[in-house]
Amino acid sequence: MTTELLFRGDAYLRSATARVLAVSERGIELDRTVFYPQGGGQAGDSGKLLRAPGEAVAIIDTRKGETPGAACPCAREPGVTAR
């Protein structure tokens, strides 16, 4: 699946609502994201994801996903699962 890369339309966008599509060792794949992935010498974005109940998941890095157009924010804690 592809991720809607919101930063392409607005590089200063700081938040958006998204759905979790998958969680793996690589990271958390979202249907849309403001997190810019690592590439071309630029570090991947960090920040936090807020779950629906308000619980925060720390994001330490963002990498390109397995498929073209996908970006995967990487959680600080290994084994984070979607709820």
Nearest by Cα to 45 from 6, 2, 1: 6
Asked whether the beta carbons of 68 and 37 are under 8 A apart, the reply is: no
pTM: 0.80
- The tens digit of pLDDT for each residue in 13-70 reads 999 999 998 888 888 889 999 999 998 898 999 999 998 888 998 998 998 877 777 7
Q: Where residue 6 falls among pLDDT bands split at 50, 70, 90?
A: very high
Distances (CA, A) of 78 to 2, 9, 60: 23, 31, 11
Q: Write down the pLDDT at residue 65.
A: 78
> In residues, how long is the chain?
83
